[in-house]
A and B are shown apart, each in its own frame.
Chain A
Amino acid sequence: MAILIAIPVIGFVVILQSAVLSQVRLLYGMVDLVLLVLVAWAVRERVNTAWHWGFIAGVLVSLVTAVPAPAVMLSYLLVTGGAVLLKRIFWARPLLAMVMAAIAGTLISHGVSQVALRLANIPVPVVQAFNIVTLPSVLLNLLLAIPVFAFVSDLANWLNPKEIEI
């Protein structure tokens, strides 16, 4: 169930990202809602389908972006891995894990994209890209991290209700 529901949820988020959020920019950075949903899902307790969600996000985002598909897939899987790792470190503080994973995930995602674009002979000045694209994107992702975490938490609780000992 948690895997199946990933397709409509991430599909909707990808549409929202492409149609609306891609036009909302801070300097030249933009929020990555797919990444935030993925991270929020991965840091939740009782969630063991994070890798599946990462894979589905990679596939769906590959359909709309011009970044090479393997780079998108690698990027989202690395982000998922990072979030899962942070969940283990900050197991008692999922919100802190979410914030840390949002920052780290944005940096990983942008780093992988830049490497992929360089391999495709697309000139991307690293320092300029970090200053005017990556840093504003980190800030935007941080701003949206908590609302997304609350929304995904509700979804996770609905899909994986807490077991009550009788």
Chain B
Amino acid sequence: MNSSRSFQTATLALVVIGILLLALGGYLSPLSRYALAPFIGAQTWLASRYQAVRDFIYAPRDVALLSQQNARLEAEIARLQSQIIDLQQQNTQLQVLSALLDFASSHPENEYLSASIIGRDPSPFLYYVIINRGSDDGLRRGMPVVSSQGLVGRVAAVTANAARVQLITDPGMAVNIRLQGSGAEAVLQGSITGELTLTSIPQEAEVQTGDLVLTSGLGGNYPPNILIGQVSGVRQSPVELFQTASIQPIVDFSQLDIVLVIVNFRPIDITPLLPPSGAP
């Protein structure tokens, strides 16, 4: 009886060991695949249902968390975009200031005070700008105003903290100039359209398109040799006393943000030296 049981046990052990060896050797893989397929299918179905139920329970909390993260990230993006705009503005300002510094370095005989343009004249007939420097900063009426490119205008009125600058494009403006090519002197005048015209050019002067226009210093209102622009067209008529020319200004007045006031220049009032009107 005992020997029969021992035989059964040994046979069972051998069968089990054989199956294990077959399994380890990979011979039972096709069989196990077919045998396990229903179980895997059932487990997959059950797991997916469990995940669906779990997502249903936990999802609202995740949505709230995500929306919080989204709001935080949007705020961060807005802050960074604002920072980018600030940096771009600073970069632009730096470029302008660098150009102004170059201009100031190239004219070391003058003392400059920088000023920002904070407003423009509300009248459409006039071309004036308002700057954020006034008599408290040492500004006086008549001081010339320049940009990194060239002549802008002159201080027309001053308050304690602001000043009004008459641009050279203003119709009431007249600047004595010198043409670099011919050396001829003339008068620059503005207009209601902002266009610049040269008048009183002597007929014998040889004026060419592209000639540079500089301040002459005559009249004592501006320092000499400040660039204004260049000749873009000449009109000559034999029946007129003088030639006229149109000027392309070197300064872009629509993009003007920062200007320099020449504070060590004092305009000379030559009115008492002028003959009275009606005098012979």
Contact = CB atoms under 8 A, between A and B. Distances in A.
A15 B119 CA distance: 8
B172 A19 contact: no
Interface string B143-175: 000000000000011000000101000011000
B123 A113 contact: yes
B121 interface: yes
Interface residues of A, number: 34
Given A120-B172, A124-B192, A132-B193, A30 B126 contact: no
A25 B193 CA distance: 11
B205 interface: no
Interface in B108-129: 118-126, 128
A129 B120 contact: no
B173 to A, nearest CB: 9
Contacts of B164: 64, 66
- Which applies to chain A's interface (DSSP): helix, strand, loop or mixed? helix
Interface residues of B, number: 22
Contacts of B120: 18-19, 22-23
A34 B126 CA distance: 17
Given A28-B192, A124-B192, A65 B172 contact: no
Contacts, number: 80
B130 interface: yes
A124 B122 contact: no
Contact of A67 (B123, B166, B194): B123
Given A114-B125, A122-B171, A129 B130 contact: no
Interface of A: 14-15, 17-19, 21-23, 25, 28-30, 32, 34, 61, 64-67, 110, 113-114, 117, 120-125, 128-129, 132-133, 137
Given A18-B122, A19-B120, A113-B125, 17 more contacts: A14-B122, A17-B122, A19-B119, A28-B192, A28-B193, A30-B122, A30-B124, A66-B156, A66-B166, A67-B125, A110-B124, A114-B125, A122-B171, A122-B172, A123-B171, A124-B192, A128-B192
